[in-house]
Amino acid sequence: MMRIFGFPLSAVVLVVALVLRTGFASAQGPSWSALVACAGQEHNGGHHDRSLDCALRAGAIHTSPSLRWFIAREHQELGHALEALDNAEQCAQEALRPGVQDGQRIAAECGAIANAE
């Protein structure tokens, strides 16, 4: 049986595989749901810049009309008129697609942001 530093080769391979897997998992960063939760917590704390950062990072993983609505509102809170308008318009269009839960309400909310900008 082959040994490396006195350990069986199979044990060394297993440890290396676990280290690499853990390293890659942590390099991927927080999950979408953790980022959405972060955005909500930061928003509730009045930290709109940090809330927007979390929401944008979540949007890089997966976006939805409701997340775009949230991003548009955070941009609006921070005085980013063009970004708020862009996200609100995209949100309003996406919300009206078939199968979007609460699509009419979300489209109306996004439309209100777009009209305010």
DSSP assignment of 6-63: TEEHHHHHHHHHHHHHHHHHHHH-S-HHHHHHHHHHHHHTT-HHHHHHHHHHHHHH--
User: What's 97's DSSP letter?
Assistant: S
Q: Crossing angle of helices 81-95/103-116, nearest 10°? A: 150
**Residue positions counted in the chain:** 117
pTM: 0.75
- Is 104 in contact with 59 (CB distance < 8 Å)? no
- Report the candidate in 99, 24, 38 with the shortest Cα–Cα distance to residue 70: 38
Distance between CA atoms of 114 and 59, rounded to whole angstroms? 19
- Percentage of residues in the chain with pLDDT exceeding 90? 74
- Report the candidate in 95, 76, 77, 78 with the shortest Cα–Cα distance to residue 86: 76
Confidence of residue 117 (pLDDT cuts 50, 70, 90): confident
Confidence of residue 29 (pLDDT cuts 50, 70, 90): confident
Give SS3 for 94. Answer: helix
Q: Could you tell me the two tokens for 14?
A: 């297993």
Q: What is the pLDDT of residues 73-87, one digit of tens each?
A: 999 999 999 999 999
Q: What is the pLDDT of residues 37-64, one digit of tens each?
A: 999 999 999 999 999 999 999 999 999 9
